[in-house]
Amino acid sequence: MSDPYAAAAASAEQLARLTGFDSHDIAVVLGSGWAPAADAIGQPDAVVPLAELGAFPQPAVPGHVPAVRSVRAGSRRVLLYLGRTHLYEGHPVAAVVHGVRTAIAAGCRVVVLTNAAGGIRSGLRPGQPVLISDHLNLTGQSPLAGPPPPDGYPSRFTDLSEAYSARLRAIARTADPSLDEGVYAALVGPHYETPAEIAMLAAAGADLVGMSTALETIAARHLGAEVLGLSLVTNLAAGLGDQPLDHGEVVAAGQQAALRMGTLLAEILPELT
């Protein structure tokens, strides 16, 4: 992408044409195994293959579907991505965050990022949803590196003092007071971490670990959107459990919790003003 912002604007125009909706209010990105949660959020008014929007690389990881839905949630129009792409698939950063930039170009002022995560903090258990309160971006990448944004876009020196909106987390806790919070560490992957790396992350303050979300959050905050992050703990991180880590089990855990996650999102989304 020579100009990722122009590419996002073009994808947003194509989205409006193919869905029949000029704008959307909220974007939701579903993580590994979360795709079945989409039906609980609501029946789609339109479904568009990502390939028809331009500049979208195709998700190739099991548990991620290369399509986006337009769904009504209360008075809100929701753009629901059924999957995402990752750095470890060999894509450039601009491609990884293209969905978020497209959503904001389409009018979304709130972005909900979900993921499957390994639990680091003692007490976190598989199947538990956790609100992301902050992140450690350990990918070595930023969507704001390289040439500066074109005229008319905010400065790339983005303030991340509140990367994940406290206001939106409060709304989520009103819907489910049992929701815990934690700091998410984002690594490149695709391999899982070593026990020594998990010990390092715990010492650095991480409660959760995964391979997504942080770069999308940076891109969203740069463009002024509020971010709500929600992790589903699908496994205990390396060295903390008795079983070896397996992506198939991660996807299966996400699918098992999909109805609960979709129901939670369906309750939260109409309140995210």
Q: Which residues are catalytic?
A: 32, 64, 86, 88-89, 116, 211-212, 235, 247
The Cα–Cα gap between 61 and 109 comes to 28
Check: CB of residue 236 under 8 Å from CB of residue 207.
no
- In Å, how far are 112, 248, 263 from 233, measured between CA atoms? 17, 14, 17
The Cα–Cα gap between 223 and 158 comes to 9
Check: CB of residue 112 under 8 Å from CB of residue 265.
yes
Ramachandran angles phi, psi of 177, nearest 5° = -65, -15
CB atoms within 10 A of CB 272: 24
Check: CB of residue 111 under 8 Å from CB of residue 103.
yes
Check: CB of residue 225 under 8 Å from CB of residue 218.
no
In 3-state terms, what secondary structure has residue 18?
helix
Query: Where does the chain have alpha helices with state H?
Result: 4-19, 37-41, 93-96, 98-105, 166-175, 195-204, 214-222, 247-256, 258-268
Tokens encoding 46: 């339109």
Report the number of secondary-structure helices (H) and strands (E) in the chain: 9, 9
Strand 129-137 versus strand 76-81 pairing type: unpaired
